[in-house]
Chains A and B, each alone.
Chain A
Amino acid sequence: MTWLGDWLRELILVVLMAAFVEMLLPGKSMERYARLVLSLLVLLTMLSPVVSLLKGDAAKELSVALVQQEQRGGLLRGAGRGAGTLEQILADGRMLAAGAKEQSLQLAAEEVAGQMQEQVAGSTGLQGVKVTVKLGLGLASGLGGEEVPVITGVTVSLPAASGTGPNSGTEAGAGTGAEPIRVEPVVPVQVQIGESEGGAAREATAGAAGGVNGGQDAGAADVAATAEGIIRMLETSWNLERGIIQVAGNPADTGKS
Chain B
Amino acid sequence: MEIIQVVGIGLLSTVLILVLKEQKPMFAFLLTTAAGILIFLFLIGKIGTILGTLERVAESSGMEMIYIKTVFKIIGISYIAEFGAQIVRDAGQESIASKIELAGKVLIMVLAVPIISIIIETVMKLLPA
Please report A residues at the B interface, Cβ cutoff 8 Å.
6, 9-10, 13-14, 17-18, 20-21, 24-27, 29-30, 33-34, 36-38, 40-41, 43-45, 47, 50-51, 54-55, 58-59, 61-63, 65-66, 69, 75-76, 78-79
Contact = CB atoms under 8 A, between A and B. Distances in A.
14 contacts: A17-B54, A18-B71, A21-B71, A26-B82, A29-B82, A30-B78, A33-B109, A40-B115, A45-B67, A50-B122, A54-B126, A55-B125, A59-B66, A75-B110
Chain B contact residues: helix, strand, loop or mixed? helix
Contacts of A69: 110, 113-114
A32 B83 CA distance: 18
A15 B121 CA distance: 23
Contacts of B116: 40
Given A26-B79, A66-B70, A69-B114, A6 B62 contact: yes
A30 B104 contact: yes
A19 to B, nearest CB: 11
Contacts of B74: 21, 34, 37-38
A58 B118 contact: yes
Interface of B: 47, 50, 54, 57-58, 61-64, 66-71, 74-75, 77-79, 81-83, 85, 101, 104-119, 121-122, 125-126
Nearest to B101: A29
A79 B43 CA distance: 31
Specify which of B106, B114, B117 lies most central, judged by the most chain A CB atoms within 10 Å of its CB: B114
A54 B119 contact: no
A54 B115 contact: no
A9 B62 contact: yes
Contacts of A21: 71, 74-75
Contact of A37 (B50, B68, B70, B82): B70
Given A63-B66, A65-B117, A75 B107 contact: yes
A50 B117 CA distance: 15
A37 B108 contact: yes
B64 A37 contact: no
Contacts of B77: 30
B20 to A, nearest CB: 27
A44 B101 CA distance: 27
Contact of B115 (A13, A34, A62): A62
B64 to A, nearest CB: 4
A65 B65 CA distance: 14
Given A27-B78, A29-B82, A34-B78, A44 B50 contact: no
A51 B113 contact: no
Given A17-B58, A55-B121, A34 B108 contact: yes
A10 B63 contact: yes
B122 A54 contact: yes
A30 B115 contact: no
B9 to A, nearest CB: 18
B111 A75 contact: yes
Nearest to B63: A13
